[in-house]
Chain A
Amino acid sequence: MTRTTRTPKTARDLAGDLRAIVGERHVRVAVAARATYAMDGLPTHRRLPDVVVLPGTREEVIAVIRLLAVHGIPFVPRGAGTGLSGGALADDGAVLIVLTRLSRILKVDARNRSAVVEPGVVNARLSAATRPHGLHYAPDPSSQSACTIGGNVAENAGGPHCLKYGVTANHILSLEVVLATGETVILGSPSGEPWGPDLVGLFVGSEGNFGIATRISVRLTPLPRAVRTLLADFMALRAAGEGVSAIIASGIVPAALEMMDQSCVQAVEDSVYAAGYPRDAAAVLLVEIDGGNADAVIAETELVTEILRKSGARSVRSAASEPERERLWQGRKKAFGAMGRLSRDLVVQDAVVPRSALPDVLETIAGIAARHRLVVSNVFHAGDGNLHPNISFDATDEGMRTRVEEASAEIMAACIAVGGTITGEHGVGLDKLRYMPLIFDAESLGAMLAVRRVWDPDERVNPGKVVPVHACREWTRRTDPGRQPGVGPKPDPDGSGDQGGLAGPGGFGDPRAGARGQLVS
């Protein structure tokens, strides 16, 4: 008997079948069309997907995933692509499934303060749609005008107001998820009470490794009836950090407590988002107090003002009007964009440290920057201890790129040394893969890999992200050792996970064609 061997199909071979599912217009194979999806909000990682497919309904998502399952082709879910970890990039050989067309708000239940949405609904649009009911969706990443709820779920996104209201994980009630096989599972319940173990909690923040959420039920939060926004400025970074610690220790929980250092303030003030921050301050704090009762909010605002003054604030002023409040926030939320003015390229980190360590860590970061002759700007969620040091650089300067990589590693090490973690809201993706062994031992990383294989035994969904496989102690073997080689992630022995490191000329894309590092958020 003669055995016939069938040549395995590649992602590209399936373009026709994909078109039959989603329509001609929604499958992209031309290089120029695919290049649009080669980066996320972090310009330092670039990967060109083999095929890009944009399903328009959950049924199309399921059909696409089933087709890919039959052929063992890996795939990567993607929302608006505003992420900051390289998490939504698809390797050569993988299909990128873009979910922005699934953008319907399916239900708003004002009485039970919940909504059901498709994954492509833009975060800010959900809040706008629920505002007439006196409700909003509380997690507010800086990219909220563009980022999608599906992406927020994948990354467990945060935002300034998560200090009081909690991150994405605190606001997801239930999920419909399509697994790598194309099977559908329902997790959680309409009230948010887990149905069995908390699989919703496990799914949120899994960075697309467990499947695609096609229906998302979220908790809505009443709009605060009273809000006060304070701007405090300090002549020393340390004093600002101490002000943050003092507010936290007082027991008052501000809605938001954000810090920007001088370099960031100047970048914002030089941009179209100028908010009236004092340019000569070493740091400014943006503090928001809100609540259901105006008298209580005023009383807490007075207490916070006093704490800030005692901590050495040069001045503390309250936004006198809603437009002024919006302007103060606009400066903060667009700070990343404004920092694009400082240099050709930018890397942003996302470490979290204990809040009492902030003053020391900020000084350490300043020291690292000075030693490596780099400009590091800080804009971050001080109330959570969630730092975002931004290093400005020029990727065409090889020496500078080396210094940036060294400084990044030193900043991360300093944050971990005080008991911190490597990412508070941006996710691991590709970008922080190499740092995972610094905070988790081989056994714990092995546990994560084993959990991933429960959801996705062949590791076909968003391969090569989150867990550095080489650093794991083995827990379970793949259930199907006969799976085709060559369809998974490329070998990545150093775990840095990239084709180009800090992308510069020579990386994918053409710098002359405007591949300059720009952050979307």
Chain B
Amino acid sequence: MTILEKVTALLGEGAVLETGTDRVPRIAPGSPDAVALLMGTAHQEGWRVRIEGAGTWLPSDAPADLALTTRRLDRVPAVEPQDLTATAEAGIGLDQLRQQLADRGAWLAIDPPGLAGRTLGSVVATATAGPLRQGFGPVKDHLLGVTFVTGDGRMVQSGGRVMKNVAGYDLTRLQAGGFGAFGVIVLVHLRLRALPRVDVTHVLEGSRDELTPVAEEIAAAGQTPAALELVSPALARRDRWVLAVRLVGSPALVAADETGLGRFAKLRAEEAHGFWMRLAEGFAVRPVTFRIGGVPAASDELLDLLQHQLGDEWISAAPAAGAIRWSGDTTADRLQRLRRTLAALEVPLTLERAPWAVRTAVGHFGAYREGAGPLVAGLRRTFDPGGALVVATDGE
């Protein structure tokens, strides 16, 4: 029996999607239990499995015996606007989820890079936060719990669906940003906000040197912007750098923060929507995207370093949060060299998106800090004892 025949017998014909150009069978289990069944079988049979969502973020190019896509796990079992929580399956597109939440007056304050249809599971697994991390924190801060399936087909729940929870170890945080190395996320419990009554964006153009102190001033002035993002000209499709400030909340709160933005131009609602969407989508266009996290005071120096080592490509930075995302065309060698330079500054580089050849050479994580490597290896063995999950965490 071929792999395809075995999987068809296991999950039915409906789970087998059209095979991609690389001839790797693409399987779409229709439930979390079906994911567990598939991974349990893969473990026993020694199949190598790559995890996919909608296929819009990571290229579907990892060598594998089959591709497991979560795209049929697209239900939203619960939206609780009174509690500001929701439970969604991992394969739902973020655009669809946003719409369902908005219909109930609720909002997920995450604006990850990528196309609008990127799956929730992909965003959680890669912990790719966007500009809203300034006001609402990284992806992990929006998670109350996850259910995941290990590389050998065990289904594990962690966390719960209430606001605070310290029952047991926080495996949710291990999954957020684990790039699927510790299992396939199938269900996510989310912390929501009420749909903001006011949501405005102001922009200021200028040189980086002009805009950096302005961003620092805003951060120091006690304002609480939802986003405070410095965007490179290429990414913003403008002639100069752009400092964008997004304010959300009650009319009183937003009005108060707007008073300090005299020099900025306020975007109309549809302009603002287009601005942030282009920014997000820009990061799904070029072949390589990564993020680095430095302390706020080092932001300027880190931007110089990126421009010097890789060139002035598509950059979006939250100077007050110390987070920088870069996208462009580069080589594994240059990324490895950059990672070494950054490591000496205690700045981690996480490779978010790249062709397989680059991912496998550089690794999403690359080298670890003192003593952490054996822990990561131990956790991988625990959650994927047979090495069924094809994820390039460490690089060469």
The residue in chain A whose Cβ has the minimal distance to the Cβ of B364 is A196
When the two chains form their complex, are residues B382 and A451 in contact, meaning their CB atoms are under 8 A apart? yes
The residue in chain B whose Cβ has the minimal distance to the Cβ of A454 is B378
Complexed CA–CA distance, A443 and B36 (Å): 12
When the two chains form their complex, are residues B166 and A292 in contact, meaning their CB atoms are under 8 A apart? no
| Stretch of A61-69, A197-205, A389-397, A513-521 with 4 or more beta carbons under 8 angstroms from chain B | A197-205
The residue in chain A whose Cβ has the minimal distance to the Cβ of B195 is A251
Q: How many A-B contacts at CB < 8 Å in the complex?
A: 266
Residues of A near B196 (CB, < 8 A) are 251
The 8 Å CB contact of B169, one of A205, A222, A441, is A205
| Stretch of A272-280, A420-428, A492-500 with 4 or more beta carbons under 8 angstroms from chain B | A420-428
When the two chains form their complex, are residues A166 and B137 in contact, meaning their CB atoms are under 8 A apart? yes
When the two chains form their complex, are residues A295 and B256 in contact, meaning their CB atoms are under 8 A apart? yes
CB proximity to B under 8 Å, residues A260-296: 291-293, 295-296
When the two chains form their complex, are residues A202 and B83 in contact, meaning their CB atoms are under 8 A apart? no
- Count of interface residues, chain A, beta-carbon cutoff 8 Å: 94
- Count of interface residues, chain B, beta-carbon cutoff 8 Å: 78
CB proximity to A under 8 Å, residues B39-95: 80-85
Residues of B near A143 (CB, < 8 A) are none
Residues of A near B171 (CB, < 8 A) are 202, 447-448, 451
When the two chains form their complex, are residues B169 and A166 in contact, meaning their CB atoms are under 8 A apart? no
The residue in chain B whose Cβ has the minimal distance to the Cβ of A298 is B252
CB proximity to A under 8 Å, residues B126-166: 127, 137, 140-141, 150, 154-158, 160-166
Residues of B near A50 (CB, < 8 A) are none
Complexed CA–CA distance, A114 and B295 (Å): 9
Per-residue interface assignment for chain A, residues 217 to 255, with 1 indicating a CB less than 8 Å from any chain B CB and 0 otherwise: 000001001000000000000000000010011111100
When the two chains form their complex, are residues B167 and A423 in contact, meaning their CB atoms are under 8 A apart? yes
Residues of A near B250 (CB, < 8 A) are 251-252, 296, 299-300, 303
| Stretch of A8-16, A36-44, A155-163, A338-346 with 4 or more beta carbons under 8 angstroms from chain B | A155-163
Q: Contacts A195-B368, A293-B222 given: A421-B375 contact, CB under 8 Å?
A: no
Taking the complex as formed, is B255 at the interface, i.e. its CB lies under 8 A from any CB of chain A?
yes
Residues of B near A202 (CB, < 8 A) are 169-171, 173-174
Complexed CA–CA distance, A303 and B249 (Å): 13
When the two chains form their complex, are residues A443 and B156 in contact, meaning their CB atoms are under 8 A apart? yes
When the two chains form their complex, are residues A452 and B347 in contact, meaning their CB atoms are under 8 A apart? no
Residues of B near A179 (CB, < 8 A) are 371
| Stretch of A25-33, A51-59, A323-331, A347-355 with 4 or more beta carbons under 8 angstroms from chain B | A347-355
Taking the complex as formed, is A183 at the interface, i.e. its CB lies under 8 A from any CB of chain B?
yes
Residues of B near A444 (CB, < 8 A) are 156-158, 168
When the two chains form their complex, are residues A111 and B297 in contact, meaning their CB atoms are under 8 A apart? yes
The residue in chain B whose Cβ has the minimal distance to the Cβ of A352 is B162
Per-residue interface assignment for chain B, residues 253 to 264, with 1 indicating a CB less than 8 Å from any chain A CB and 0 otherwise: 101110000000
When the two chains form their complex, are residues A352 and B224 in contact, meaning their CB atoms are under 8 A apart? no
Residues of B near A446 (CB, < 8 A) are 154
Taking the complex as formed, is B346 at the interface, i.e. its CB lies under 8 A from any CB of chain A?
yes
Complexed CA–CA distance, A303 and B257 (Å): 18
Q: Smallest Cβ distance from A209 to chain B, in angstroms?
A: 8
CB proximity to B under 8 Å, residues A412-426: 419-426
Taking the complex as formed, is B221 at the interface, i.e. its CB lies under 8 A from any CB of chain A?
yes
Taking the complex as formed, is A436 at the interface, i.e. its CB lies under 8 A from any CB of chain B?
yes
Taking the complex as formed, is B242 at the interface, i.e. its CB lies under 8 A from any CB of chain A?
no
Taking the complex as formed, is B293 at the interface, i.e. its CB lies under 8 A from any CB of chain A?
yes
Residues of B near A355 (CB, < 8 A) are 82-84, 163
The residue in chain A whose Cβ has the minimal distance to the Cβ of B155 is A443
Residues of B near A189 (CB, < 8 A) are 293, 346-348, 369
Residues of A near B369 (CB, < 8 A) are 185-187, 189, 195-196
Which of B162, B173, B197, B365 gathers most chain A CB within 10 Å? B162
The residue in chain B whose Cβ has the minimal distance to the Cβ of A158 is B164
Complexed CA–CA distance, A253 and B197 (Å): 13
Residues of A near B157 (CB, < 8 A) are 440-441, 444
Complexed CA–CA distance, A183 and B374 (Å): 11
Q: Smallest Cβ distance from B192 to chain A, in angstroms?
A: 10
| Stretch of B110-118, B176-184, B200-208, B230-238 with 4 or more beta carbons under 8 angstroms from chain A | B176-184
Taking the complex as formed, is B289 at the interface, i.e. its CB lies under 8 A from any CB of chain A?
no
Rank and list the top 8 A-B pairs by shortest CB-CB distance, nearest first.
A193-B293, A201-B173, A251-B194, A299-B252, A292-B222, A185-B371, A424-B164, A293-B256
Q: Could you tell me which A residues sit within 8 Å of B by CB distance?
A: 109, 111-114, 155-156, 158, 162, 166-167, 169-170, 179, 183-187, 189-199, 201-202, 204-206, 209, 222, 225, 245, 248-253, 291-293, 295-296, 298-300, 303, 352-356, 381, 384-386, 419-428, 432, 436, 439-441, 443-448, 450-455, 466-467, 475-476
Extra inter-chain contacts (15) besides given A190-B346, A427-B166, CB under 8 Å: A185-B371, A191-B347, A193-B348, A196-B376, A199-B372, A204-B170, A205-B166, A292-B223, A299-B252, A421-B165, A423-B165, A428-B166, A436-B168, A443-B154, A452-B169
Q: List 11 A-B contacts (CB under 8 A).
A: A191-B323, A195-B372, A197-B182, A202-B171, A205-B170, A206-B170, A292-B222, A354-B162, A356-B83, A447-B171, A448-B168
